[in-house]
Structure 1
C-alpha cells in the first residue's frame, strides 16, 4: 500500500501519455510528438568536449560537495552579472541543482508544514501543485487570464485570506502561456511578498528563448529578502538531460535548503559541473543561433495553428506556443485527442496546466522544420 501522501497525486500527464503514444507507435501510427519541451538541438560542441575530457581524468569520479564546485558556482554568479545585471556571492548565494525541478521539491520540503498554504498559478507548471500536495500543505490557486496578460491579479489575490500563505510560485517568462516578464511585474511581485511576508519562488528557465531581454526578478531592489529564484541550463543551453539547474537566494535560505538537499543526494558528477561552467561562458552568438532555429520553427507552428483555427499572440516567449481553441471544441482535451487519433499528431491540452487553460492548447517548438511540415500535411488531410 502506498503512502497517504500519494493519494492526491496523479501520475504526471506526459508520463501517462507517452505510454499511450508508445503503444500507438507499435501499432504503426508513427505519432508526431509536438507536446513536450525537450530540446532536440545539441549543446555547444565545446561543452561536450569539456565533459569528455574531464571524464577521462582519474580523480573526478568520487563524491562531490553538496554545495557544488566553486568553479560552477562562480560561473553561475558571472552569468547572472553578465546577462541579468545581478550581483550574487558565489560562495554563499548559489546552490547548484540536479535540474530546477529538483529545487521545487527541496523548497517545498524545507519550508512547508501541513497547516501552510501556497499560492500556485492557474495555468501553471503542474509540478508546483503536486510538490505542495506531497508535503501535506494546501494549494491555493490564483488565476491568470488572457485579459490580464497572464499576470497575477494582485487586487483579487489580496481579497483572499492570506494568513496561512507561506510561499507563492511565479514563473516569467510564463509557462505555458509564453507571457514575457517585465521589470514592473517583478517589482509588483517583490512588493507583494514584502507586504504579506510571503516567500516568493520564481521559476526562470525560459528567459533566453525567443527573448531579446533576459530578466531576473533578483534585479529588483530588496528581492533577496523575499525571493528564491530557480534557473536552469535545460532550455537555454540544450542540456535538459544533463540535469543542471541552480537556486539563487540569500545565504540564510541556501543553508536552510541545503539541510534538506544534503539528505537527498551526494553531489553532482564533477565533469558535468565543469561542462556546465563552460556552457555558462558562451556568448550572445550562441543564443542568437539557437533562437534563429526556434524562430523558423515558430513560423511553421503559426501555420499549423491557423489550420486548426486557433487564435494566439505573436508576442510569446519561450519554447512553446499557447493558443485558444475554436468554439467547435468543448476543451483542449477534445481538440488534442481529435488530432492525436485522426492525424497522429500529439499536442498538449491546456487543461493539464489548470482550469484557466481549458480552452487552450500548447505546442512545443522542439521539432525539426520537416517534422512540423509533416504535421501540417497530416492535419490538412483530415
Structure 2
C-alpha cells in the first residue's frame, strides 16, 4: 500500500497546468443521428485522453466542452457563440452537414477556428475563410464516386426517395450532373407526398433499376426498405444509401437481413495502418462494437488540432493560419489541408472513400464494392 504524500511534498504531473478548453459539437439527442454522435464523441474523447496522457499541450490538459446540437442549426450557432465566450481555443466536431454549415458560418464571423470532423456539404461557408478546415470529403467528391459505382454496375435510370433538405437536394444535383454524360437520369420521389407502397408503384412507372434512400432513419427509410423488399415486382431493384445510414448498428437492428446489400459511402482506407489498427482496437473495446468511420474522424480531429496547438500555440489567429502548414499521420492516412477548386474552407483533399455494403451472408461484415 502506498503512503500518501505529506503536505510538504510537491506532487506534479505532466498536465498540471490550467486546462485548455476545446469546444465540441455533437448530435446526442433526437432528431439528431445520435448513434453517429456517440461514435464521433468516442473518437474525440479517446484523442483527448491520449494527448493528455502524453503531457497535454505545453503541460496543459485538453478539456472538451461538449455541446449537443440535436441536429439543429440554430443550436449549433448558439453553441459556437457560447463556446467562444468561454474562451475555447477552437471548436471541433459535428456530423450533420446543414448543422456544420451553420456552425462554420458563426465560427467564421466570430474569428474562432473550427475543425469540421464529419460533414460534407461543399459550400460549408458562403465565402472563402481561413478559420474553417475540414477532414471529411466534399459531397461532390464522395457522391461522384458513388455515381461512378452505379454506372459501373449498370444502373443508369435512378430514382431517389427524398425529403426537403439542402443536403439531399445537393446530393440529388450531384448525381444528376454526374450521371447525365453517361446517359443516366434521376427521378425524384417526394416522401412528403408518397407512402412506401406508393414508392413501389412509382418505381415501376419510372423504369428505374436503383432506388437511393435520401431520407431520414428510421422514418421514412425503414418502411421504404421493407416495402421494396417484400414487393415481388421489384426483386431486381438495387437499394442504395449514399449518405451512409447502413454503417451503424441501429440499421442492422431495425432491418436485419433486409438491410444488407444496400451500398453506402464510408470514409476508410482499404487497410488501416498501425495507428488506425491500434485506435480501432481501443475504440472497439470502448464502444463494445466495431467503430464506424465517424469515430476515426473524431480521433483524427484531435490529432490534427493537437499538432497545430503544439507547433503554433493557442492563439486563435495563429491556429487558423496554421491549417495549410500542418501534416499529421492520422488513423486513415496522412492528413494535410489545401484549397480544393471551388472550395471555401481548408480541406483534406485525400480523404479515403469507399462504397461498401453489409454482406447478406454475414450482416455484421462489410463488403468493399468500389473505392475513390
After TM superposition, the score normalised by the length of structure 2 is 0.32
Structure number, greater radius of gyration: 2
Greater strand share, structure number: 2
Query: Per chain length, whose mean CA-contact separation is higher, i.e. which structure has more relative contact order (CA < 8 Å, sep 6+)?
Result: 1
